[in-house]
Amino acid sequence: MNKRILIVDDEETIRLSLKEGLMDLGYQVSTAGNGTVALKEVKSFKPQVIFLDMRLSHENGLELIPQIKEIDREAEVVIMTAYGDIQTAVKAIKEGAFDYINKPFDLQEIDIIIGRVIKNVELQKKVYLLEKEKKSRNEYMLGEHSSMREVLSRIDILSSNDAVTVLIRGETGTGKELVASAIHDHSNRKDAPMLKINCGAIPQQLIESELFGFEKNAFTGANTRKKGLMEIADGGTVFLDEIGEISLNVQTKLLRFLEERKFKRVGGLEDIEVNIRIIAATNKNLEEAIRRREFREDLYYRLNVVPIQLPPLRERGSDVLILAQYYLEQYNKKFHKKIKGVTKEVENVLLSYPWRGNVRELKNVIERIVILKEGEYIDLKDLPFEIYKNASKNPYKITTVKDDKAVSKVFHQDFSLEREVQEMEIQYIKLALEHCRNNYSKASEMLGISRFALKRKMEKYFS
- Domain locations in the chain as residue ranges: 4-129, 147-311, 313-399, 416-463
Residue 257 to residues 184, 215, 295, 299, Cα–Cα distance (Å): 20, 18, 16, 10
| CATH 3.40.50.300 is the classification of domain 4-129 | no
Neighbours of 134 (CB within 10 A): 7
Strands 272-273 and 262-263: antiparallel
Strands 262-263 and 306-309: unpaired
What pLDDT is stored for residue 245 in this prediction?
Answer: 93
Determine phi and psi for 152, rounding to 5 degrees. -65, -35
CATH of the domain spanning 416-463: 1.10.10.60
Q: Same fold for the domain at 4-129 and the one at 147-311?
A: yes
Q: Cβ(337)–Cβ(375) under 8 Å?
A: no
- Helix/strand/coil (H, E, C) string of 19-50? HHHHHHCCCEEEEECCHHHHHHHHHHHCCCEE
What superfamily does domain 147-311 belong to in CATH? P-loop containing nucleotide triphosphate hydrolases (3.40.50.300)
CA 320 – CA 322 distance, rounded (Å): 6
Report the SS3 class of residue 429. helix
Selected from 3.40.50.720, 3.40.190.10, 1.10.8.60, 3.20.20.140, the CATH number assigned to the domain covering 313-399 reads: 1.10.8.60
Q: Cβ(64)–Cβ(35) under 8 Å?
A: yes
CA 283 – CA 244 distance, rounded (Å): 8
Q: 44-77, pLDDT tens digit by residue?
A: 999 999 999 888 888 888 889 999 988 988 889 9
What pLDDT is stored for residue 397 in this prediction?
Answer: 44
What pLDDT is stored for residue 430 in this prediction?
Answer: 84
What is the pTM (predicted TM-score) of this model? 0.59
The mean pLDDT value for 297-316 works out to 93
Q: 410-422, pLDDT tens digit by residue?
A: 666 667 777 777 8
Q: Residue 383, exposed/middle/buried by CB under 10 A (0-12, 13-18, 19+)?
A: buried
What pLDDT is stored for residue 413 in this prediction?
Answer: 64
Q: Cβ(440)–Cβ(455) under 8 Å?
A: yes
Cα torsion 153, 356, 173, 329: sign? negative
Q: Does residue 176 carry a pLDDT above 60? A: yes
The mean pLDDT value for 262-286 works out to 92
Q: Cβ(271)–Cβ(262) under 8 Å?
A: yes
CA 30 – CA 52 distance, rounded (Å): 12
Q: Cβ(95)–Cβ(89) under 8 Å?
A: no
What pLDDT is stored for residue 398 in this prediction?
Answer: 39
Q: 355-380, pLDDT tens digit by residue?
A: 999 999 999 999 999 999 988 899 98
- pLDDT band at residue 142, thresholds of 50, 70 and 90? confident
Alpha helices in 304-357 (DSSP H): 319-335, 344-352
- pLDDT band at residue 124, thresholds of 50, 70 and 90? low
Q: Cβ(442)–Cβ(449) under 8 Å?
A: no
What pLDDT is stored for residue 83 in this prediction?
Answer: 65
Q: Residue 104, exposed/middle/buried by CB under 10 A (0-12, 13-18, 19+)?
A: exposed
Q: Does residue 453 carry a pLDDT above 90? A: no
CA 303 – CA 278 distance, rounded (Å): 8
Determine phi and psi for 341, rounding to 5 degrees. 170, -160
- pLDDT band at residue 394, thresholds of 50, 70 and 90? very low
Q: Cβ(230)–Cβ(274) under 8 Å?
A: yes
The mean pLDDT value for 440-458 works out to 84
CA 404 – CA 278 distance, rounded (Å): 56
Q: 224-250, pLDDT tens digit by residue?
A: 888 889 999 999 999 999 999 999 999
CA 437 – CA 190 distance, rounded (Å): 49
Percent of the chain topping pLDDT 70: 89
Beta-carbon contacts of residue 156 (< 8 Å; ≥ 6 apart): 186
What pLDDT is stored for residue 137 in this prediction?
Answer: 45
- pLDDT band at residue 437, thresholds of 50, 70 and 90? confident
